[in-house]
Structure 1
Amino acid sequence: MQVFELTEWGFLIALWVLTLAVFLLAVVFLPRLPRRRLINYAAQAVVMLLVSVLILTSVAAWLNRQNSWYTSWSDLTGGAATALPRQSYGAASPSRVAPQAITGQLTDLQKNPQDNPAFQDKISDAADHGQYFSVSLPGAESGQTYNVMVWLPKSYLHNSDQMYPVIMGFTGFPGSPQTYSKSLDYGHLIQRAVDEGRLRDSIFIVPDVMPGTYDSECVDGTIDQPRKKTPRAETFITKDVVPWVKENLRVGDNPQAWATTGYSAGGFCSAMLSLRHPDLFASGLVQSGYFTPDYTKGQRWNEPDDPRYDLPRIASTGTAHVNLHYFSSRDDPLSWPSLSAFRGHVSGETSLTVDSVASGGHRQDVWLPGMVKSLTWLGHSSPFFAPLPHTSRN
């Protein structure tokens, strides 16, 4: 019955009633049994253990309802969902573009990153599979300081004249850059795409602009909240992080050599930054993201009708020369309705490519194959991410 579906109140209420009944059995009925035999104590211990299991199950069910990790029993028990046909909106998304080399003048510090004090001796020449490291970056323009995680491909230290495209990643909320470096290992996804001839070697950058319980939504805020700093995250990303990367790493200036990516709240960041700053980012990869800010209670930084972050309105102007790739399950109650409200507004020079699966909810198991698809799409649609002939492998 629908009322007892995994995310419905009927299932939660039934679970709570069962937990209460078993608890009362343990503390009221079993102690009243005649003859306090060992079997009675054993039965009481088993029932209390069952109560503990039911309490943990109730907590998990409540968190699942709040976060939509699994939206149905079939999501919980089934395997990977079947991919649905690709959809396109707005301008035609480029496919199989001719690769172009990234060129430019390089400084000595860019050529020799291990001698660069900006990296504080964090780079190791012993890394065989690429390397992650983090730096604390004080933002001169934003006036705010955040950590920035960097992943360098294994080839970066072996060719001091090679220049690289950049993928800038954003986490969900709550989230952490460690999701990218450990749970997902996005650097490995990039390397695998390179080894399979789907993508060029790329640098991966993750500004930690939503640390802990701080939900910046990557925006510049206009509303102050008690005991929370008003974010200047958009300025930090665009005017502090991007110039820092260009100054210290071997990257190009062409926006087609820069892409954003993000899951959940980070998906909003990815779409917003590319649509609002097409002069910096020509591609945006969105996994189960949304297209208007979804502020956490007590952290609403702007008015709901703030035109700066009304992405459907921006897309409808058609002036942003940006290619977006979106991936989600269609039963995701957070992201899919937002896409449905957004896609009809995409027009002009903006393109939107949508890949999806029928079910899967709002969770990492859905985002991971979406990230793989998006990297392949990026290697096909951007000339500066397309693999160069001498680096591709078939």
Structure 2
Amino acid sequence: MSLTSPVLVWIVGALAVIVPVGLIVVWGRGPGGLGGRLLRLVGVVVCQVLAIGAVGLYANNEYGFYTSWGEVIGESDAGGGAIDLTGLVPGNGSQGTVKTITVRVPGAKGPEAARLPVLVWLPKQYDELRNRLTKFPTLMVLPGQPSTPQAMFNGFGFAAQATQAIDSGKVPPFIAVFPPLMIDAPRDTECTNVPGGPQAETWLATSVRQQVIKRFRSDPSGARWSSLGFSTGGFCSAKLLLRSRTEFSAAVSIGGYFDAETDSTTGDLFGGSRQLRNENSPIWLIKQPPQRQTNLLIVASKTDADTWKPGATYADTSQMVTQSSGIPGVATLLLPRGGHNYSTYKPTLPQSLVWLKQVGAL
């Protein structure tokens, strides 16, 4: 059974309730002596494992940390494994189609890191005869860290929500591209061109973008490319816009942070340079002249306090909102409550897509 299957969560959750109740019922009826005490100890341990497992599975589905059992035991697909397309869209094509392409990572070391899979979603209109010559606007969608393209795709119910927005006429048909962020697993590169290391920003802004334009009918104009991301992906989306304005015209940061992180998961990303760190922080970049039109939508919950990445909090968002005050094009969508998870932010996807249309990116 799939690690992210809701059925698995329900089964383990139910066992986490049923087994302790059963243990209480039979506690005094079992054998005595050392054997009886050992059996009761095993029962207590099983109850604890089930409780921890139920919470862990639920949290994993909410945050998208792992998508397979292999990743849990260290066989991470983030380093170049194939993306599993099973179940991402209905087989009848009613919610479009999904494909994968592989793209070379600039600056990556080792044969496994040379090429990584990228998930591409095509709307059902893509294959219609009347659109055979149409160039489609393209949205780059970036997952959190650690996470995967398919976790982001599933967590936001992307195919269903994007299809509904297109079918209702709220947005035009568009292509969506889901590249992985973990291009140097298990390191968190923060979408940075690391001195002497992987060129994570170039991978997104140039490598992935160029390959999508080459292989699909993607409009090559930067005015028709935008980005949207969750958590670390939200940070990267904002950074891509502010550092690559000719390649991207708009960005949506959902539950993101705005200052470059450095911790045990990232290592030294900036070679000790404070200036380089600033140049990779949206909260610094947004104030650099000239302060021209910047189509950035900041989506955040006022009760979001991401314990996994302490910078991703509403306080950080508030600082970015203050820093960008008066800059044309910056908009906010603030939720009154909700934690740092898919359940909180999934409903904001349709509004984000409509905003991207309003600013001309879709």
Does the Cα contact within 8 Å between 2:249 and 2:295 map onto a contact in 1? Answer: yes
Q: How does 1:206-221 map to 2 (within 5 A)?
A: 206-210=178-182, 213-221=186-194
Q: 1:298 Cα shift?
A: 4.5
What amino acid is the match of 1:342?
M
2:164 corresponding residue in structure 1? 192
Cα distance change on mapping 1:49 and 1:287 into 2, 3 Å: farther
Aligned equivalents of 1:324 and 1:165: distance in 2? 17
Q: How does 1:177-326 map to 2 (within 5 A)?
A: 177-210=149-182, 213-222=186-195, 230-300=197-267, 301-302=269-270, 303=272, 305=274, 306-317=277-288, 318-326=290-298
What amino acid is the match of 2:319?
A
2:299 corresponding residue in structure 1? 327
Q: 1:231 Cα shift?
A: 2.2
Does the Cα contact within 8 Å between 1:288 and 1:328 map onto a contact in 2? Answer: yes
Q: Which one of 344, 348, 355 corresponds to residue 370 of structure 1? A: 348
Aligned equivalents of 1:50 and 1:126: distance in 2? 48
Moved more, 169-178 or 302-311: 302-311
Q: 1:183 Cα shift?
A: 3.5
Cα distance change on mapping 1:185 and 1:289 into 2, 3 Å: same
What amino acid is the match of 2:321?
R
Cα distance change on mapping 1:136 and 1:322 into 2, 3 Å: same
1:4 corresponding residue in structure 2? none
Gaps of 5+ in 1: 1-21, 70-124, 225-229, 386-394
Q: How does 1:49-128 map to 2 (within 5 A)?
A: 49-54=43-48, 57=51, 127-128=93-94
Does the Cα contact within 8 Å between 1:256 and 1:281 map onto a contact in 2? Answer: yes
Does the Cα contact within 8 Å between 2:301 and 2:338 map onto a contact in 1? Answer: yes
2:332 corresponding residue in structure 1? 354
**Identity between Structure 1 and Structure 2 (%):** 23
Residue deviations 1:94-148 (CA, integer Å, cap 9, x gap): xxxxxxxxxxxxxxxxxxxxxxxxxxxxxxx974431111111125688853221
2:103 corresponding residue in structure 1? 137
What amino acid is the match of 2:323?
H
Aligned equivalents of 2:116 and 2:328: distance in 1? 31
Residue deviations 1:174-224 (CA, integer Å, cap 9, x gap): 1001113333331322111111221110100112131553312111012x6
What amino acid is the match of 2:193?
D
1:382 corresponding residue in structure 2? 359
Aligned equivalents of 1:128 and 1:61: distance in 2? 34
Does the Cα contact within 8 Å between 1:330 and 1:357 map onto a contact in 2? Answer: yes
Does the Cα contact within 8 Å between 1:328 and 1:370 map onto a contact in 2? Answer: no
Normalized against structure 1, the TM-score is what? Answer: 0.64
Does the Cα contact within 8 Å between 1:148 and 1:206 map onto a contact in 2? Answer: yes
Say which SS state the counterpart of residue 132 (structure 2) adopts: coil
Say which SS state the counterpart of residue 173 (structure 2) adopts: coil
Does the Cα contact within 8 Å between 1:151 and 1:203 map onto a contact in 2? Answer: yes
Cα distance change on mapping 1:292 and 1:55 into 2, 3 Å: same
Does the Cα contact within 8 Å between 1:329 and 1:356 map onto a contact in 2? Answer: yes
Gaps of 5+ in 2: 1-19, 64-90, 306-311
Cα distance change on mapping 1:376 and 1:242 into 2, 3 Å: same
Aligned equivalents of 2:35 and 2:212: distance in 1? 65
Q: Answer yes or no: is 1:342 the counterpart of 2:315.
A: no
Root-mean-square deviation (CA, aligned residues, Å) is 3.7
Cα distance change on mapping 1:326 and 1:347 into 2, 3 Å: closer
Q: 1:245 Cα shift?
A: 2.1
Residue deviations 1:241-284 (CA, integer Å, cap 9, x gap): 22222223223243331110110111111110011111111111
Does the Cα contact within 8 Å between 2:140 and 2:177 map onto a contact in 1? Answer: yes
Q: 1:287 Cα shift?
A: 1.0
Does the Cα contact within 8 Å between 1:136 and 1:148 map onto a contact in 2? Answer: yes
Moved more, 164-173 or 176-185: 176-185
Normalized against structure 2, the TM-score is what? Answer: 0.70
What amino acid is the match of 2:124?
K
Aligned equivalents of 1:299 and 1:330: distance in 2? 27
What amino acid is the match of 2:165?
A
Does the Cα contact within 8 Å between 1:215 and 1:296 map onto a contact in 2? Answer: no
